[in-house]
Amino acid sequence: MGPGAAVALVFVGCCSNVVSLELLVRQFPGCGNIVTFAQFLFIALEGFVFETNFGRKKPAIPIRNYVIMVTMFFTISVINNYALNFNIAMPLHMIFRSGSLIANMVLGIIILKKRYSASKYLSIALVSAGIFICTIMSAKQVNVANEGSEEENFYGFVRWLIGICMLTFALLMSARMGIFQETLYKQYGKHSKEALFYNHCLPLPGFLLLSTDIYSHCLHFSQSTPTVVPVVGLTVPIMWLYLLINVITQYVCIRGVFILTTECASLTVTLVVTLRKFLSLIFSIMYFQNPFTGWHWVGTGVVFLGTLLYTEVWTSVRAALRGPDVEEKKAD
């Protein structure tokens, strides 16, 4: 499969996944745990069959390292989805998760003792400023939306703050996991498909801690409005259909990113993922009529400007445009 097909998988899979997640969350804001469990189960089953050959293939990276990685990955996934229970709107959720560059740089400086160019620090400042603007504007909307007594307004705002703290923690934990993966791949080589399987298989017993909540949402989903599945002709509760679409699109999204990392440079992968997030955000605002003020647009623009600056897209574009001229001069 070529880069073009991989890019198509990323855009179609990831954007569709965001839409299906919003459809689920709008009906049941607390359904994050069942969504996470379904995604993990599907990807683990696929990996068990096609990656480990029904458990006959031994891992290239020791299991003890995967246990550490999986603990972080499971925590990140659950917290990110569960944060939607705390007055966190989907647009803010997407913008906040776009701040992974900040966390990666901060932990890279602290743990790996890395040093960056001035443009990198400027880009991180822009991303931080953009997220700060969007967060402040969303905080004001929480206060406006919670019309009622002063106590109810305070309670709603505290819930929102808890959600912000959860997203911040998940952001930092994700960056730490990225650094841990980087050190593992340097030591044992890159085994992305293997890591994908173990990251989704090993945490499955952890969902027993969330079994009550998952079972409760299974009942809610089963009581949702019946709908006819196109082509197949089966009648199923609509929430189960949304969940199935979410699981499949999540798999398509992850597979697309994996193929892209093997076919293209990391800069291209970062740019594609960033553009995908921007399109998902625009679609979420337009289709679902999510509240988005002028200041939100300013903050979003600053976030993506900082991201593009960090990936040095402008330098690459200028080099590509200058390429033919440079070659002609060398030929002369």
Q: What is the pLDDT along the chain (332 residues), one digit of tens a residue?
A: 677 788 888 888 988 898 898 899 888 988 888 999 999 999 999 999 999 989 899 999 899 999 998 898 888 888 888 887 887 777 777 777 767 767 777 888 888 787 878 887 887 788 778 877 776 776 666 555 555 566 677 787 888 889 889 998 988 888 888 788 778 878 888 787 888 899 889 999 989 988 999 999 999 999 999 999 888 889 999 999 999 999 999 999 888 887 776 676 555 666 677 677 777 777 777 777 767 778 878 888 887 788 777 767 667 666 666 655 554 555 55
CB 238 within 8 A of CB 252: no
Quote the distance between the C-alpha of residue 246 and its chain's center: 13
User: CA dist 64 to 68, 199, 255, Å?
Assistant: 7, 12, 25
Per-residue confidence (pLDDT) for residue 147, from 0 to 100: 55
Q: Taking a C-beta distance cutoff of 8 angstroms, is the pair 269, 7 a contact?
A: no
* Amino acid code (one letter) for 210: L
d(C-alpha 77, C-alpha 207), whole Å: 12
Q: Give the global pTM.
A: 0.72
Task: Determine the Cα–Cα distance for residues 130 and 95; give it in Å rounded to an integer.
Answer: 9
Contacts of 328 (CB under 8 A, 6+ apart): none
Annotate 55-76 with DSSP letters as a single string.
TTSPPSS-HHHHHHHHHHHHHH
Give me the helix-helix angle, 238-263 and 192-201, nearest 10°: 150
Sequence-distant (≥ 6) Cβ neighbours of residue 188 within 8 angstroms: 60, 61
User: What are the start-end ranges of the H helices in the chain?
Assistant: 3-27, 32-50, 63-82, 90-97, 100-111, 118-145, 150-188, 192-201, 211-222, 238-263, 266-288, 294-310, 313-331
Q: Which residues pair with 236 in a beta bridge?
A: 227
Which run of H or E residues covers position 227? strand 226-228
Q: Which of 105, 101, 81 is nearest to 93 (CA)?
A: 81
| Contact between 284 and 290 (Cβ < 8 Å) | yes
d(CA 132, CA 323): 38
- In angstroms, the CA 13 to CA 169 distance is 26
Closest CA to 22 of 75, 96, 76, 81: 81
Burial class (CB in 10 A: 0-12, 13-18, 19+), 239: buried
For residue 301, give the amino acid letter.
Answer: G
What is the phi/psi pair of residue 236, to 5°? Answer: -135, 155
The two tokens of residue 2 are 């070529």
